[in-house]
Amino acid sequence: MKKLSQKESLELAVSTLQKNGALKENALPLALGIIDAENQGIKSHGFHYLPIYCLHLKCNKVKGSAKPKLDEISNVAFKVDADNGFAHRAISLGMEKLIPSAKENGISSLAITNSYNCGVLGYHTKNIAKEKLIAIGCTNAPASIAPFGGIKPVVGTNPISMAIYNKGDVKIIIDQSASVVAKSEISVRAKSGEKIPEGWAFGPDGKTTTDASIALKGTMAPAGGYKGFGMGLFVEIMSACLTGSNLGIEASSFANDQGGPPGTGQFFIAINPEKFSSTFEGKIAKIIQSIESQEKTRVPGSKRINNYKTNINNEISIKEELYDKIISLNK
């Protein structure tokens, strides 16, 4: 394993993206997201994904020179056209308006269009929640989940996230996809040749499979059966229909170099709980205590939060093969 300091890791991510065509102002927000994923223990969205980002820069699936444009629809509604660039910069630009608006008005919203894979959705809601706000976010993805009973994908894994601040820190991060597992987890296993658990995905014939490579050619299993597809459809409406972005059935894959920019979307809502309830903080603390008081339970997001607190002061480990590949992309 190759070990790098936090500073070295960030510099490596930024330089690799720049070498492959991203302007620094577009590379840095994404690189920060990559390092955050590593520190949270979400390796599938960390350095593992960097070569794919570079591939997409090279084949113009994502625009390295993108210039996101902010539109102030009203004092509580904002929209950013990501210009087919990285979602991270567009979201960061929008948050500059979203956060102060929510603090002042009680609630505010942000739509992102002509966007791209936003990485760990909970990273973005966490950044909003740090400002003592309730954060809600969702993003659509290329179609990979079929309607319950069908075999043709209609919606993507389409995650939804909520992050909650309480007593000095972000304490809750709900971040879950409409599928049983994130598609990136299957991609990781397909590359390593590792089997996937039964019930994660279906092959092209609609039958369950434990072969990750076959699963990538089929569909993802919806979490909770028809309820999972319903959640995915909810996110599709909010992230694609409402933002004017591509539907999952229109978007190109996040995983290969086929097709043009995916043009997917994101939608965020920020709420200032102090404007609505004087007892919010106490009630959240009570919920947290009622979960933590039980054996073998944990608050949603607590694992990644604790991982971050531990890892932020440590070196980041990268598999030698992956590190060598990243170094080759810097030449």
What element of type H or E holds 112? strand 107-115
- Residue in this structure with the two tokens 């480990």, named with its chain if needed: 317
Q: Residues in the chain, how many?
A: 331
Q: What is the pLDDT of residues 287-314, one digit of tens each?
A: 999 999 999 999 999 999 999 999 999 9
Average pLDDT, stretch 189-206?
A: 91
Q: How many other C-beta atoms are found inside a 10 Å radius of the C-beta of residue 302?
A: 16
Distance CA(319)–CA(290), nearest Å, equals 39
CATH class of 1-58+302-331: mainly alpha
- Calculate ∠ Cα 314-318-324, nearest 5°: 140
Q: What is the pLDDT of residues 82-96, one digit of tens each?
A: 999 999 999 999 999
Q: What percent of the residues of the chain are helix, what percent strand, and what percent coil, each to the nearest 5? A: 45, 20, 35
**5 pLDDT higher than 90:** yes
Q: What is the pLDDT of residues 100-134, one digit of tens each?
A: 999 999 999 999 999 999 999 999 999 999 999 99
The distance between the two most distant Cα atoms of the chain, rounded to a whole number of Å, is 56
Backbone torsion region of residue 158, taken as left when φ is above 0, otherwise alpha when ψ lies between -120 and 50, otherwise beta: left
**281 pLDDT higher than 90:** yes
Give the pLDDT confidence score for residue 331 in this predicted structure. 84
| Domain extent listing, the chain | 1-58+302-331, 68-179+222-300
pLDDT bracket for residue 191 (50, 70, 90):
confident
- The string over 219-228, giving b where at least 16 C-beta atoms fall within 10 Å of a residue's C-beta and e elsewhere, is bbbbbeeeeb
Q: Do domains 1-58+302-331 and 68-179+222-300 have the same CATH topology?
A: no
Give the pLDDT confidence score for residue 263 in this predicted structure. 98
Mean pLDDT of the chain: 96
Q: Is the domain defined by 68-179+222-300 classed in CATH 3.40.50.12780?
A: no
Q: CB under 8 Å to 309, separation ≥6 — which residues?
A: none
Give the pLDDT confidence score for residue 249 in this predicted structure. 98
**192 pLDDT higher than 90:** no
Q: For 120, what's the count of Cα atoms within 13 Å in the CB-facing half-sphere? A: 32
pLDDT bracket for residue 26 (50, 70, 90):
very high
**185 pLDDT higher than 90:** no
Distance CA(60)–CA(257), nearest Å, equals 9
Going by the DSSP 8-state scheme, the letter that residue 63 receives in this structure is: -
Going by the DSSP 8-state scheme, the letter that residue 111 receives in this structure is: E
pLDDT bracket for residue 184 (50, 70, 90):
confident
- Pinpoint the alpha helices (H) of the chain: 6-19, 24-40, 50-58, 87-105, 121-129, 183-192, 212-217, 226-236, 280-292, 302-311, 320-329
Q: CB under 8 Å to 48, separation ≥6 — which residues?
A: 184, 188, 322
Q: What is the pLDDT of residues 211-259, one digit of tens each?
A: 999 999 999 999 999 999 999 999 999 999 999 999 999 999 998 999 9
Angle of helix 87-105 versus helix 121-129 axis, rounded to 10: 30
Chain-centroid distance of CA 171 in Å reads: 18
